[in-house]
Amino acid sequence: MGLWAWGINHKTASVGLRERLALPAERRSEVLRSIQQRTGVSELAILSTCNRTEIYAHGPGSEHEWLRWLVEERQLPLSELTEAAYQWTDEAAVRHMMRVAAGLDSMVLGEPQILGQMKSAYQDAQTAGTLGQSLNQVFQQVFACAKQVRSETAIGLNPVSVGYAAVVLARQIFSSLEKSTALLVGAGETVELVGKHLREQGVRHIHVANRTLAKAEVLAEALGGGRAMPLSDLPSALVDADMVFCSTASTLPLIGKGMVERVLQARRYRPMLMIDMAVPRDIEAEVAELDNVYLYTVDDLEHVIADNRKAREDAAQAAEKIIAERTELFVQQRRSLDAVDTIRALRSQVEEWRVQELERASLLLGQGVAAQEVMDRMSRALMNKVLHQPSVSLRSWAAAGDQAGLAYAQELLGLSSAREDA
């Protein structure tokens, strides 16, 4: 088949190595053309995310060539790359690409973002002119497989991240999130993910409080222009907040029982949902004792996540079966194409013989030879030419006692499997 995949990921390489191999989107077309010129491989694409960098290629190539290019391009130790890299070829490469696109090889099982990243890799290769017919066919099968996995399994239905689980919990408590005001305390990755999920759920008022005001302003703007504030403004910000999501690196609680008591009084005791995703805690445990406050910690969320992770693992088994079937079907289709050149050559040869014998027959007819005799000569001559090489091979196999070869020839020629003795 000539297909292969080379790469590193979160399971084989450190964060530092992954960072050094990551390719910014604006450079990928340039890098693709550079690799193509250096290695001579005509078809290739690159998938680069925070958790993996993989090269997909069709054509001659070796791990040594890629390692040498990367060592020189990124100034990396050869030993470090060798220990972290993996390479798959042909059927195994197809299966690997399908597993990646379906989210089965991700840090978070079943996460959907990887499919979009795989499609970006495909588009980058198109732009660079390094996506040939063979690699294009592989990508189309990979995308079709990922779509089938998403539509026929529950691999992506159950939240397995703290951020998403927090928003799902909020949706269960509030009948309408759209009318609620959310306060995010912190501006890290977890809080940012919560904010994105809240926006997807239709929450329009999302405010951000953070120790560094500039970071709060960037996140608030990204989430639709909510109010950004320093942590010192927490007491007043809590008054308007129906939902509070906390995840900071503070070593001491930022929100205490007394603060929340005063906030509830100012809110006229309207209910508040408070989800503390930080370790150590951002919210004092005693806050849970207050009426009209629903306080959940990261441990509460982990119970939800554990149940959902089990559901995804069950779905992953069904996804693996789909991938195995898709891979086998694609490989069979590709293998059948290997016979095309042979069939074309055979037809060309027989057509050449047919034309030759037809010309001889026309000449004989012109000389006055009877039509029946001409037809007989032509058919015998054509038969002898068609059967000459098979007959030579059959005699050779028989002389060598090659029963497997004889059986294969009988199947190929459509003959009976054995001759009955008289």
pLDDT at 64: 67
Looking at the chain, the domain(s) classified CATH 3.40.50.720 span 162-305
pLDDT at 418: 47
The enclosing H or E element of 210 equals strand 205-210
Starting at the edge strand that comes first in sequence, how are the strands of the sheet with 52-58 ordered?
A: 43-48, 52-58, 3-9, 86-89
Report the catalytic residues.
50
Residue 127, pLDDT > 90, answer yes
For the chain, give the percent of residues with pLDDT over 70. Answer: 96
pLDDT at 253: 94
pLDDT at 299: 82
Mean pLDDT of 206-225: 94
pLDDT at 160: 67
Residue 203 C-alpha from the chain's centroid: 30
**Sequence-ordered list of residues with C-beta below 8 angstroms from that of 333, at least 6 positions apart, any chain:** none
Give the tens place of pLDDT for each residue, 336-347.
Answer: 766 777 888 888
Identify how many contiguous H helices and E strands the chain contains and give both numbers.
16, 10
Q: Are 331 and 1 in contact (CB under 8 A)?
A: yes
Give the tens place of pLDDT for each residue, 353-402.
Answer: 999 999 999 999 999 999 999 999 999 999 999 888 888 888 888 888 88
Looking at the chain, the domain(s) classified CATH 3.30.460.30 span 3-157
The CATH code of domain 3-157 reads 3.30.460.30
Give the tens place of pLDDT for each residue, 282-295.
Answer: 999 999 999 999 99
Q: Are 222 and 213 in contact (CB under 8 A)?
A: no
Residue 78, pLDDT > 70, answer yes
pLDDT at 213: 96
Mean pLDDT of 317-340: 87
Residue 45, pLDDT > 60, answer yes
pLDDT at 189: 85
Mean pLDDT of 57-77: 76
Looking at domain 162-305, does it have CATH number 3.40.50.880?
no
Residue 227, pLDDT > 70, answer yes
> Which tokens go with 137?
């066919």
pLDDT at 158: 66
Residue 327, pLDDT > 80, answer yes
Q: What DSSP line would sit under 345-379, residue for residue?
A: HHHHHHHHHHHHHHHHHHHHHHTT--HHHHHHHHH
Q: What is the CA radius of gyration of the chain?
A: 34
pLDDT at 421: 43
Least confident of 65-69, 220-224, 299-303, 373-377: 65-69
pLDDT at 61: 61
Residue 420, pLDDT > 60, answer no
